[in-house]
Structure 1
Amino acid sequence: MKLIIGIIALNFVMLNCNKKSSNSNEELKMNNQELINHIKLAINPKYQDWVVFKHGTYIIFDEADTVKEIHKEALKQMKEFGPVYAGGPAGDFGITTLDKTDGWIVSGHGYGMYTYVSPLELDNKNPSDSEIGLFGRNKRDLDGKNPEIIFINRKK
């Protein structure tokens, strides 16, 4: 009987620990403006035309003057290059540590497409490149499967 009560108590503690952990992750999520500010600092200022999606993926346009409707082109590229499928090129990624803000950008197979990853989003305080890359790839997958533009920056 004591063993059963002990197991129930342990399960209760474990469930509450998991709930606390997920709530703290929720509190660490950035609002859209904070995300946009980090991305602005991540992008080379010579690039003035870019679009940010809800989960932190952004697309930089080199020659946006030739693109009539940048939001439609961004959605098209996100739908094509954002989702991750097993065994496909979308699974590949590269990591760049940022100098002007905290975090990293994760690049993939879509030209000019990057995903910002904040250190606050990761549980590990010293994450490996693979942890950062997999997390960023997952964020890009979320943006690719349900693209929602939160900001468009155009050359002035």
Structure 2
Amino acid sequence: MTGVNSEMLIAVWRRVLLDPRASWVLFAHGTCVVLTAPEGDLGEQAVAIMRTFGPVHVGSAAGDFGVVDLGTAGGWAVTGDHPDVLTYVAPEEVEEAEEAEDHRNIAVGLFGRAKRHRDGTELRVVHVEDRRDAAPPAQLGPA
């Protein structure tokens, strides 16, 4: 499995995660845990989630995946059985020998699932994006 540059991964997740108030944690192989209720040490909170939802158990919900094309951001996000755990797969990480989209999605999904498994067993945090102090979006309405 090829390694992906952490700085590039941070930039991708900053572009892809649209909520400017969303705190998130990035793991070494590209898995991002979005923390919908961030509290305490965000790295520890994400590690606890990854311990449960990172490792793949074939034949269970932990082996399932979905593939989201990231369009102009490039690459794909691979989902699993936790809605806030996403793994980035760069275009150069997957051979696109198959032209049909369904074949490509299977290859991308399996590759992303393998990366999530590594992140879920190694549990190596490379970046914490703490947005708890971000201002809420402006509200429109009567003054």
TM over 0.5: yes
Where does structure 2 lack aligned partners over 5 or more consecutive residues?
A: 134-143
Identity of aligned residues (%): 31
| TM-score normalised by length of structure 1 | 0.75
Instruction: Work out whether residues 4 and 29 of structure 2, in 8 Å CA contact, stay in contact via their aligned partners in 1.
Output: no
Aligned counterpart, 1:149: 125
**1:135, 1:98 → 2: CA distance?**
16
Provide the aligned length of Structure 1 versus Structure 2.
128
Point out where structure 1 has 5 or more consecutive residues left out of the alignment.
1-24
Bigger drift between 53-62 and 41-50 goes to 41-50
**Matches for 1:55-70 after TM superposition, within 5 Å:** 55-64=29-38, 67-70=39-42
Q: Which has the larger radius of gyration?
A: 1
SS, match of residue 113 in structure 2: helix
Taking a change above 3 Å as real, the CA distance of residues 47 and 138 of structure 1, as seen in their structure-2 partners, is: farther
Structure 2: how far apart are the matches of 1:77 and 1:100?
Answer: 29
* TM-superposition CA deviations, 1:119-141 (whole Å, max 9, x none): 01112265611111111000000
Provide Cα deviations, 1:61-92, integer angstroms capped at 9, x if missing partner: 1221xx11111110011011000012121111
Contact 1:47 1:62 in 2 (8 A): no
Q: Aligned AA for 2:113?
A: R
Question: Offset of 1:38 from its aligned partner?
Answer: 1.3
Report the Cα offset of residue 44 of structure 1. 1.6
Q: How big is the alpha-carbon RMSD for the aligned residues of Structure 1 and Structure 2? A: 1.7
Partner of 2:87: helix, strand, or coil? strand
Contact 2:43/2:128 (CA < 8 Å) preserved in 1? yes
Misfit runs of 4+, over 3 Å: none
Task: Tell me which moved more, 119-128 or 93-102.
Answer: 119-128
- In structure 2, the partner of 1:37 is 11
